[in-house]
Amino acid sequence: MVKNRIIPYEILLESCKQTLGLVEYSIPEEELIPMRHFMNALIHYLEDCINKAENGWPVIGHHFAFPSEIFYFFDVVPIVVEGVSYMLSGLLTEGAEPYYDAIEFRGHPYHTCSAQKATLGLTLEDYFKFDVICTSSGPCDNSIASYPIFRHIQKGQLLDFKVIDMPYWRDKRSCDFFGEELVNLRDELAIILGQEPDEEKFRKAIEVENKSLQLIKELNEIKKAVPCPVESMNVPFNAASIIFFSGRFERIPYLEALISHAKKNYKKGIKPNGEEKLRTIWPNMTLFFDIGYSEQLDREKGISTLFDIFNYVFYDPINLNQDINDIIKDLSVQCMDYPMIRQSQSTADRMIEDMLYLCREYKVDACIFTNHIACKNLQPIIQLLREALREELGISLLSVDVDVGDKRYASKESIAKEIDSFVSTLY
């Protein structure tokens, strides 16, 4: 049996341990709360995945917006392709750049998404040995185009490559169709992996996800308070927790710790990092190559970051008192409303309506849109969103051209300069 099949998870584990150690041992207890709890949760998750992979469990690479709860029917190790790329970007000096370069050197276009590029590079370098790759035909053309490359670059056999079809429309017919796709996938995986689907484990994963969902909503409610009692740093870590911990219990203690800390701050009426001068939402993503940037904005300039695209959820928990296939169909409805899928794989109205709702509810002063090089599907929305926010709420929007996972495209300094100029026009 091949050993060390998920070397990038081992790299992440070592980096997370060192990061947590440094924070715990040198920074006072009341500081960097989201980072401490997230690193703790991630270490647990990574150790579990590495142990299972070493014990011979099949390794499945999947898209972050794929309903990974479906994998809990089986004894498998689900690896989040996008999570690896962006965690490496956030934790290492040179980020995931050597792996972007590796796959680009092979001819992969530079303007595709860095979220997949690093994992493609890592697979090309033989650091990942996947058994199956699963993705859906969403949320964007980039991921649809990038995933099939795994079939050609992996050294050694890939058992199967699965794409489930996600329709563009969000009506009952589409949801039923996508639900059928998920049921078929479960049946096909059972044959490929030679395992019987275990309904209990799947139900447990959905139960855990339901609990997480309630906690996310609770945390988001707390963020309505002015000043925001949650550190801005929670935004990139919440995004990562949504990406990594679908159907896993690690997200629960992480969110509970954040909520408890936020409630304490709320009762005292304080904002963790000083005065709040400006409340912002980042309608796309925050910078993953510098996970501390939102914290620095918060501490130095009093700019709170309340949400990015991954931080708010517009779907409800799944009813577990029904037939297993109906639960899967409900999961498909949820999946079609996942963060980023909801805004990217549909008409522009959704993004605009969501932002108007959030800006109104959360008393937002400004929006900062990271125009990620690969999010070509969102680029035409920027001007529409800017006009809608200005006309309906009198809020300004700044668009910054970036690659959220690659600092070479737009450096933090150039981004900071644009934000500074923008902010100076608001006071």
Residues that bind other proteins (CB under 8 A): 2-4, 7, 10-11, 14-15, 17-22, 24-31, 40, 43, 90-94, 98, 102, 105, 124-127, 292, 295-296, 299, 413
- How far is residue 287 from each of residues 46, 295, 394, 410, 416, measured CA to CA in Å? 23, 11, 26, 11, 11
CA dihedral for 397, 398, 401, 404, sign (positive or negative): negative
CB of 82 closer than 8 Å to CB of 63: yes
Concatenated DSSP letters of 30-56: TSSHHHHHHHHHHHHHHHHHHHHHHTT
CB of 270 closer than 8 Å to CB of 229: yes
Nearer to other proteins, 235 or 328 (CB): 235
Which tokens in the block code for residue 178? 């996508």
Alpha-carbon distance 151 to 365, whole Å? 46
Nearer to other proteins, 26 or 424 (CB): 26
Neighbour-count burial for 323-361, b at 16+ CB within 10 Å, e otherwise: ebeebbbbbbbbbbbbbbbbbbbbeeebbbebbbebbee
Phi, psi of 72 (to 5 degrees): -75, 0
CB of 403 to other proteins, least distance (A): 17
CB of 76 to other proteins, least distance (A): 20
Which tokens in the block code for residue 339? 């963060």
Nearer to other proteins, 322 or 411 (CB): 411
Nearer to other proteins, 59 or 185 (CB): 59
CB of 135 to other proteins, least distance (A): 25
Nearer to other proteins, 171 or 413 (CB): 413
CB of 388 to other proteins, least distance (A): 34
Nearer to other proteins, 58 or 90 (CB): 90
CB of 178 to other proteins, least distance (A): 38
CB of 215 to other proteins, least distance (A): 23
CB of 94 to other proteins, least distance (A): 6
CB of 87 to other proteins, least distance (A): 11
Nearer to other proteins, 78 or 90 (CB): 90
Find, among 307, 279, 277, the residue nearest to 427 by Cα.
277
Interstrand relation of 366-372 and 396-402 (parallel, antiparallel or unpaired): parallel
Interstrand relation of 278-281 and 366-372 (parallel, antiparallel or unpaired): parallel
Alpha-carbon distance 256 to 112, whole Å? 36
Nearer to other proteins, 98 or 167 (CB): 98
3-state secondary structure of 354: helix
CB of 19 to other proteins, least distance (A): 6
Helical ranges in 269-340 per DSSP H: 293-301, 324-335
Nearer to other proteins, 14 or 326 (CB): 14
